[in-house]
Structure 1
Amino acid sequence: IGLRAVLYTLTGKEIPDAQDYAEPGKTLVLPDSPVVTAANADEWIGRGWGDFEPTPDPCR
């Protein structure tokens, strides 16, 4: 559900019935992820999500 919500946010889609949290959020420190740039894009072709399409309602 969280990943779908992120994909919706990144693609500009609205999340139905989204609500603010009652408590303040947390800062998450995640491990470094590789960065895909124009210079190294060729090595990443075929290693992505393919034809992934999120479901119409990410909360179900």
Structure 2
Amino acid sequence: MSLLGRRWPAPLAKPMAPFFVAGLVMLYGVNSFANVLMNTDEFKNDPRNPNVKGKKPEAH
């Protein structure tokens, strides 16, 4: 007896493939847009920007 119950002979990956592809496209688009925004003049010197080449916090 399986913990997940009975195995049903229903396809899962094939009908969901367009949603998987759309999710990857959205993740790529959001990441690209975030990278573009990090390099704008408004946020280029923001201390929260991970690309800022400023002082590093001193160790204890």
TM-score, normalised relative to structure 2 = 0.19
Q: Which has the higher helix share?
A: 2
Whose RCO is larger (CA < 8 A, sep 6+)? Answer: 1
Between Structure 1 and Structure 2, whose CA radius of gyration is higher?
2
Instruction: Give TM-score scaled by structure 1 length.
Output: 0.19
